[in-house]
């Protein structure tokens, strides 16, 4: 497993800020399982995953209301290679945007939040 993150923050004004960054994750693994039961097959496999992500987030406090919104982009490539049964191998590639928005308000010691 290898992972890294670069996060940057910029304060636009008092109570208002901008954050952005980059993340990377790499997972690589191999395994072998020997089974004596006919109901459980033996396996020999390799598994790997690479994920890249970019994000930007805006935060602001307007009166008693906090606003937090942003977007995240992920590119994920994963592969599972079954060396015993090639039909069991799975390879996927995903590219997705994930928007987010939340509002919070604190009154009389209670915090209210909507996402």
What's the rounded Cα separation, in Å, for the pair 48 and 62? 45
Helix (H, G, I), strand (E, B) or coil at 88: helix
The whole-number pLDDT of residue 92 equals: 94
* Residue 69 binned pLDDT confidence (cut-offs 50, 70, 90): very high
- Residue 67 pLDDT exceeds 90: yes
Residue 51: strand pairing partners: 25, 76
Sign of the Cα torsion 80, 82, 86, 87 reads: negative
10 Å CB burial of residue 76 (0-12, 13-18, 19+) is middle
pTM: 0.74
Average confidence (pLDDT) over 99-108: 88
Sign of the Cα torsion 14, 15, 18, 22 reads: positive
């Amino acid at each position: 497993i290898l992972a890294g993150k670069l996060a940057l923050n910029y304060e636009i004004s008092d109570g208002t800020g901008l954050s952005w960054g980059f993340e990377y994750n790499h997972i690589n693994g191999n395994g072998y399982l020997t089974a004596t039961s006919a109901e459980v097959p033996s396996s020999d496999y390799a598994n790997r995953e690479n994920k890249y992500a970019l994000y930007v987030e805006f935060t602001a406090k307007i009166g008693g209301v906090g606003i937090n919104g942003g977007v995240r982009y992920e590119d994920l490539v994963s592969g599972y290679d079954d060396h015993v049964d090639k039909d069991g191998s799975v390879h996927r590639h995903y590219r997705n945007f994930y928007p987010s928005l939340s509002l919070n308000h604190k009154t009389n010691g209670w915090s209210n939040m909507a996402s």
